[in-house]
Amino acid sequence: MKLADLPKEVIDDLCQEDSWRLDIDPGFDAKHEFWMAWRHFVVLPEERPSYYEATEADLADFLTFDGFEVLLPVPRSHHPHIERIRLIPSQGQQTLTLFLHDSFYESWFNDAWAARYGFLAVADRYQKFGCDFYLASYYHFSYLIGADYEAAREVMQRKLNS
């Protein structure tokens, strides 16, 4: 699934701030969490007002984790650097909880110890206008611990070795 393939009705719906807000903490050196509207991630600023300039590469797009199509608030440039650490579907699969590792910022990820930096996402099922996917409502920096940290260390070591 691609963002560009979504019907206009879906994009218009996602741009409704009162319906689809995103609690976000971009992590690392961010000082506060805040909320954002999905419109900043699904349409270019010339189509709808935005806080910043953006190009197509800055927009979000779908990632597939274990067969689930998920729309996360991350630019497409991050996608090759994102690895699933753990995915927990709710009973009935209406909500997904994901622990992710995003090594896009290479200066932060130059040794296996840095694998402790991860992200926690909560995505709810979106089923409207003939579409069926998961839309993040929560995306936060998170420290990975225990088995999640060990899995992220393996991912990080593999990346460092390649």
How many domains does the structure of the chain reveal? 1
pLDDT of residue 16: 85
Confidence of residue 90 (pLDDT cuts 50, 70, 90): very high
Q: Whole-structure pTM over 0.95, yes or no?
A: no
Q: How confident is the model at residue 158 (pLDDT cuts 50, 70, 90)?
A: confident
The residue segments making up the domain with residue 17 are 3-161
Q: For residue 48, is pLDDT > 70?
A: no
Lowest mean pLDDT among 53-57, 62-66, 122-126, 146-150: 53-57
- Residues of the chain with pLDDT > 70, as a percent, come to 81
Task: From residue 115, give the alpha-carbon distance in Å to each of 33, 98, 105, 150, 154.
Answer: 21, 16, 12, 8, 8
